[in-house]
Structure 1
Amino acid sequence: MSRRRPALALVGALVGALLLGGCLDEGNSTDVRILETTPDATPLPATPTMSPTTSPTTNPTASPSRAPGATLTPADRDPRLLGTVATGLSVPWGLDFLPDGDAVVTERDSGRVLLLRGEQHRVVVAGTVEERVAQGEAGLLGVAVSPDFDDDRLLYLYVSTAEDNRVVRARLQGARLGDTEPVLTGIPNGFIHDGGRLLFGPDGHLYVSTGDAGEPSRAPDPDSLGGKILRITTDGEPAPGNPRPDSPVFSSGHRNVQGLAFVGDQLWASEFGDSTADELNRIDGGQDHGWPAVEGVGDQQRYVDPQVTWGTGEASPSGLALAGGHLWLGALQGERLWRVEVGADGRRAGEATAYLVGEHGRMRSVAQAPDGSLWVTTSNRDGRGDPGPGDDKILRIRP
């Protein structure tokens, strides 16, 4: 995002670096506090439900999110805050789950890859990605667990280096991360707009979100990897069926995508706006989403309009996940969790409702855990927030 002055973000990044100076050796448990979670059947007395707020603007040309007479899903009830999984993290950015249920978390500035192990979610430092260069919004960003993890033990990571943003992979042996291997290099990097979300699709290919790195002209340029959603094989090659067989580019015209999620076979993405509108977009291959010519709904035939937009003070959308039949979107500047209705076919979005408004600060990553709950990370130590006791945290929510 660029709505805060870079100087402030740099000061925050320097402070974060000082705080991380005492990290323990790799493979050891950290000093992160682990809190017991509340069972789903037992509501928390202080927060029996999360009160909703008003909805943002839905693209008036989009279809309604639910067909008349459709059966309501369990997520039509209000979500419930179940508890806190962990505290004392520093700018947790990427979040995914291993087949055994353990979580993998990346920290943007420290470059640490953390494992949250077992039912008590004991935090262990698996390793540090030494090539990361943390500045502004750059650093160690997304993580995705290989769909063949039981066989290959691979984690895929999005990291900012001195030369570029890149996708790398490393083998996780037990609780220790091995050396990184480049998968895709040459993604533009900068102080702002580094993208960074990774997600394996139902087709087995890796989807990669990138930003324009502060130069909007990159977003529509078919020869630039900036301002795009990329689709690659596990070895970094353009995936079969891409719009251009020789290119990893899947969609273009993006300012800074930081959230990816599938509803069935349909890809969705959350995107930072500039000064007018943040966006939730349905992504189909080969389409241009308009940046920098259009922000929000432009009603121009050559560009694809977002299905939902927000004022920039309500969102700055980051993580995105599907749970309970709805899309859930973490908001940074908006300091809330958005729930968005989606149609049964996965191609329509409608009403959005906000929860936890201002209660936990900036919300970054959102992921569905193997037990069906949502894990949501705060991002109050990223240089743009107001850290409170225990920040940063991972919250656990019943969707």
Structure 2
Amino acid sequence: MTAKIVLGFLFLSLAGALLYYRGMTGTGRISEEPGLSATVSPSPLEEINDGNESVRVVAGNLDTPWAIAFLPDSGILVTERPGRVRLVNSEGVLENEPVAVLESVKEIGEGGLLGLALHPEFSENNYVYFYYTYEGSGNNTFNRVVRMHFRDGKLTDEEIIVDGIPGASNHNGGRIKFGPDGNLYIGTGDAQEPSGAQDTSVYAGKILRVTPEGKPTAGNPFNNHVYSYGHRNVQGLSWDSNGQLWATEHGRSGISSGLDEVNLIIAGKNYGWPEIQGDESRQGMYAPVRHSGVSNTWAPAGAAFINDSLYFGGLRGQTLYEAVTAENRIVEFKEHFRGRYGRIREVIKGPDSNLYITTSNQDGRGNPEGDDDRIILINPSLL
């Protein structure tokens, strides 16, 4: 009996070590893309089951999923960047046919159908909000926020609520979230025109705050939609237990990459882009709570608080990051699943208090394998 217990313990220890090694190193090909660091191909996802489901695939074979939202009936809505809205039904099955294809969406570079949010009173009004890129007059690229009704498995009645957000092939922002105050917060990008981030009269390089109808929220610092400015490319928004907004933001790119940011967002404040980066300072500008440094790139996307930990994904970093916070500071920084699942776009807390992430290996910068792209559930208590 004793020998069996010892052998069983050794087997479990060896299995755990192998899983840890795979999670830290990844498996598969290494490839170089111009302007990008080496990309690690994700290995097929194994379901780890130790009495709790710590990691499991919720849905696969998606095309560049960008955002997800949880329906009251346990279904999940998903945006795909080419313009499709998909549904994981209440039985946990991805429907074959899209709920809708938004015809106005222009998929260009990083642009397309991006953010997604449900109205806080969705059960009563059935409003779903989307952020997408489109082609305006003169072949110019813009972004807008629309809302639609979702009833009986169908999206109808598209209504534009915020329009004219500058767009480009890159740096479109796109994250939208309702805050604890009931207002809609919108993360935008500089649309490859850095100087616009410092101009509070335009909506590029900003976090916007609007009512559910798209009007500027009373008390906004510049008497328009702008809540904060000096941002490069905001792709993650989340509130801590004190109601304080945090954001994840892409830093510089190309040869001089790095300096990705986690910011503590305060109304009316200037977060410096393109005038300051990293630890640089200037009167009237706010430095990030944490940045990736000059030699490391996260390309951060998504953001979700669970207890005092802010989780966010890495596209280029191919990692689930965890920033443990206390008193508006980051006191510990952890990395999970480095290289295991490839590029991570969405990170969101589910109604079951688990983390849900989406991969982004079909976006032209990853190496898709198996059933990519995927929605993956992660039990944070086991990290």
TM-score (norm 2): 0.82
In structure 2, what residue type is equivalent to 1:168? Answer: V
* Paired residue total: 329
Task: Tell me the CA shift for residue 249 of structure 1.
Answer: 0.2
Match of 2:151 in 1: 173
Residue by residue over 1:28-47, the C-alpha shift from the partner in whole angstroms, topping out at 9 and shown as x without a partner, is xxxxxxx997778335xxxx
| CA–CA separation in structure 2 for the residues paired with 1:256 and 1:187 | 13
Match of 1:273 in 2: 251
Whether the 8 Å CA contact 2:114–2:132 is kept in 1: the answer is yes
| CA–CA separation in structure 2 for the residues paired with 1:370 and 1:326 | 17
Residue by residue over 1:296-325, the C-alpha shift from the partner in whole angstroms, topping out at 9 and shown as x without a partner, is 221323211101111464410011111243
| CA–CA separation in structure 2 for the residues paired with 1:148 and 1:362 | 32
In structure 2, what residue type is equivalent to 1:116? Answer: V
| CA–CA separation in structure 1 for the residues paired with 2:133 and 2:273 | 23
Change (3 A) 1:119 1:349: farther
User: In terms of mean alpha carbon deviation, does 293-302 or 230-239 score higher?
Assistant: 293-302
In structure 2, what residue type is equivalent to 1:200? Answer: F
Partner of residue 185 from structure 1, selected from 135, 143, 163? 163
Provide structure 1 residue ranges, at least 5 long, that are not aligned to the other structure.
9-34, 44-79
Partner of residue 327 from structure 1, selected from 293, 298, 310? 310
Residue 318 in structure 1 maps to residue 301 in structure 2: yes
Residue 138 in structure 1 maps to residue 111 in structure 2: yes
Partner of residue 393 from structure 1, selected from 371, 374, 382? 374
Task: Tell me the CA shift for residue 225 of structure 1.
Answer: 0.3
Change (3 A) 1:284 1:291: same
Residue 98 in structure 1 maps to residue 98 in structure 2: no
User: In terms of mean alpha carbon deviation, does 385-394 or 203-212 score higher?
Assistant: 385-394
Match of 2:211 in 1: 233
Match of 1:255 in 2: 232
Task: Tell me the CA shift for residue 281 of structure 1.
Answer: 0.2
In structure 1, what residue type is equivalent to 2:356? Answer: W
| CA–CA separation in structure 2 for the residues paired with 1:140 and 1:42 | 34
Match of 1:301 in 2: 283
Residue 151 in structure 1 maps to residue 134 in structure 2: no
Residue 339 in structure 1 maps to residue 322 in structure 2: yes
Residue by residue over 1:240-278, the C-alpha shift from the partner in whole angstroms, topping out at 9 and shown as x without a partner, is 121022x00000000000000011310000000002400
Residue 205 in structure 1 maps to residue 183 in structure 2: yes
Task: Tell me the CA shift for residue 222 of structure 1.
Answer: 1.0
| CA–CA separation in structure 2 for the residues paired with 1:269 and 1:211 | 13
| CA–CA separation in structure 2 for the residues paired with 1:223 and 1:5 | 35
Task: Tell me the CA shift for residue 290 of structure 1.
Answer: 0.2
Residue by residue over 1:310-341, the C-alpha shift from the partner in whole angstroms, topping out at 9 and shown as x without a partner, is 14644100111112431101000000000110
| CA–CA separation in structure 2 for the residues paired with 1:225 and 1:187 | 5
Whether the 8 Å CA contact 1:89–1:392 is kept in 2: the answer is yes
Change (3 A) 1:160 1:149: same
User: In terms of mean alpha carbon deviation, does 93-102 or 385-394 score higher?
Assistant: 93-102
Whether the 8 Å CA contact 1:332–1:379 is kept in 2: the answer is yes
* TM alignment of 1:342-357, pairs within 5 A: 342-343=325-326, 345=327, 347-357=328-338
User: In terms of mean alpha carbon deviation, does 96-105 or 325-334 score higher?
Assistant: 96-105
Change (3 A) 1:398 1:324: farther
Match of 1:41 in 2: 51
In structure 2, what residue type is equivalent to 1:362? Answer: R
| CA–CA separation in structure 1 for the residues paired with 2:222 and 2:320 | 36
Partner of residue 117 from structure 1, selected from 89, 99, 110? 89
Match of 2:13 in 1: none
Computed over aligned residues only, the root mean square deviation of the Cα atoms, in angstroms, reads 2.1
Instruction: Tell me which structure has the larger Cα radius of gyration.
Output: 2
